[in-house]
A and B are shown apart, each in its own frame.
Chain A
Amino acid sequence: MVSEPKLSHTAAIVLKAIDAGFVYGFSIMDMTGLPSGTVYPAMRRLERDELISSRWERQAIADAELRPPRKYYRLTAAGRAALEAARRRYPLLERLLPAEEARRS
């Protein structure tokens, strides 16, 4: 039986933010209020553990919006399972930002 990954509180918040639709670094910082020195290293660890994956936005889209391209993150299947486990471990995580609300905004 494969044991469930045990995430730190910070990692769980970052996973939750990505699941809620905040899919690039600064938006996760903005939503969670965590500093850059916490969010980015947490994302590196999550990516190393294959709980999230990243891809670069197409240059044409960024050019059209007159900004540099973003690196987007999304949950992997393992990441979704880890987030479910984290929700059970940290019940207050749900109150941080309801996913539906984020998706509407």
Chain B
Amino acid sequence: MNRLLAAAEDGLLCAAALLVPSRRRAEWLREWRGEIWHVRRCSRRFPARSADLAGLHFCLGALPDALEMRRIAGTTCSTGTTIHRSASYCLLVLAAILAAGWTFALHSRAIVAERHPERYTVRPGLVLVMNARAARGSMAPIPVELYRTWTGVRQKYFDGLAFYRMERTVLAGGRRAVDLPIARSSAQLFSLLGLPMEIGSADASAEPHLVLSDLVWRRDFAADPHVLGRSVQVGARFVHVAAVLPDGGWRMPGEAEAWLLEPDNAISAGGAGYVVAQWKPDSWRTINGSAANITACDAKGNEHDVWAVSFNERTDGPWGPYFVAVLLALLALPALTSVFLSDMADSAIRPSWLRRAVHCAFGAAKIAIVLGIAYILPVDLAYCRTSGFAPGASGMQLLFTLTLSVFGFWWAVADQRKRCPVCLRRVTHPAQVGIASRTFLAWNGTEFMCLAGHTLLHVPALPTSWFYAPRWVHLDSSWKFLFSP
């Protein structure tokens, strides 16, 4: 316990130390580590619980102290200000956001499936059958009785049908009993889906089969390699583990963590679930598009309209919505901000072509990283709860990408306009120059300056035909004394 608290105290000090300017960090940390020795020594006179927490309580004070050190350093030197206005800092922050999004995406089941399409190919002609009375794309389920009626008659369009229904049930037999979302499925579900896995032999046992997700196998069965064939309890029933589904393999509606495979007549009546069907190849070719409206009859002869939606459409990758959103954002950009960058004032001093190339490359790098962020963050957000690229999540992705792209492009243009063409630092210290009545005689607007003394940026308050874009004024060596440290 004491070792844990000591580690927590030191962790807190180290975290606070990150706020302290680097040149004073070591001394600051040395003082606090020295002081905490006295705190621990004197806390022995306190009651046991207070004594344990005294050090931690003391270390909480390190945070305001570190902030004070930072504030004091900020008023006495401008290094921090200069750094956070630099081009490298800007690119570093953008790259960090991109890296964080990418790291998160590596653990997203949808992205894993996208990166390894060979593992998760969907058979051509595989469809999800949905109730047509619900809104299209809402994945309306089918009553189990209707499904049983279909399996009992000869099918005109389908070669095979399978049903599954989501339930929460306790699974016991692993490290501990866990309450899981389990899909009670037709025995032929996985063979119909054509997933790359071997279901254990059914002859070995009269018990139903259970397929575990990779997540449950690792989390609740400690990745036991001998789990296949083991008897476990699902609710009140004993079943035996027949297979482990690879990570990202399940891309159907419903966030199942295990699948209980049983004959269709053993699935309890009542409720509704999802129906997966294999369309006959010759019939599918006659269907235009990726969905078909068909009429099915129930046991009493009543007709039901259902939609059969292809899984190929459901499993389209994220690139389509991304390109559409980026294109829309580009079209919207001129309406949101002026796309003109800054002009050069008539001056003998002009940056070299190399400087101008670096300036352009910096702008291009920002746009490229913004495009990367606008791809990865919406994918993270939209698909974090799904195991595939479902239409509903695609809509969310489109919305997020559009929002991020519009904001990102607007920011990139605005930021580029305020980057000194010589050193790429953001200009600062805005000052109002002139008065409105002088707009037509001289100029009226805001003047920014480069902290390194290279340039001034004149931004007109009222754009006119002769002065509509911000204008750079390059400073010669006679200005140097104003900016010397």
Chain A: residues with CB nearer than 8 A to chain B? 24-27, 30, 35-41, 44-45, 48, 67-71
Contacts and interface: CB of A to CB of B under 8 A. Distances in A.
B65 A71 contact: no
B46 to A, nearest CB: 12
What 9 A-B pairs come out closest when comparing CB atoms?
A36-B61, A37-B61, A41-B68, A68-B34, A40-B65, A26-B38, A37-B64, A71-B31, A26-B35
A24 B37 CA distance: 13
B38 A35 contact: no
B69 interface: yes
A45 B68 contact: yes
A69 B34 contact: yes
8 contacts: A25-B31, A27-B38, A37-B61, A40-B61, A41-B65, A41-B67, A45-B68, A67-B37
Contacts of B59: 36
Contacts of B76: 48
A24 B35 contact: yes
A77 to B, nearest CB: 22
A30 B72 contact: no
B19 to A, nearest CB: 12
Interface in B41-93: 42, 57-65, 67-69, 72, 76
A36 B65 contact: yes
Contacts of B60: 36-37
Interface string B245-282: 00000000000000000000000000000000000000
A23 to B, nearest CB: 13
A70 B62 contact: no
B68 A44 contact: yes
Given A36-B60, A40-B65, A45 B37 contact: no
Contact of B37 (A36, A40, A68): A68
B33 interface: yes
Contacts of A40: 61-62, 64-65, 68
Contacts of B37: 67-68
B69 to A, nearest CB: 6
A24 to B, nearest CB: 7
A53 B69 CA distance: 15
B39 interface: yes
B65 A68 contact: no
A36 B58 contact: yes
Contacts of A70: 34-35
A19 B9 CA distance: 30
A68 B39 CA distance: 12
B65 A44 contact: yes
A45 B64 contact: no
Contacts of A27: 38
Nearest to A54: B31
Interface string B300-344: 000000000000000000000000000000000000000000000
A36 B62 CA distance: 7
A58 to B, nearest CB: 13
Contacts of B62: 36-37, 40
B379 to A, nearest CB: 42
Contact of A30 (B33, B42, B57, B65): B42
A22 to B, nearest CB: 12
Contacts of B69: 44
A26 B39 contact: yes
B65 A48 contact: no
A48 B60 CA distance: 23
B34 A48 contact: no
B13 to A, nearest CB: 11
Interface in B1-47: 30-31, 33-35, 37-39, 42
Contacts of A35: 57, 61
A27 B42 CA distance: 10
Nearest to B37: A68
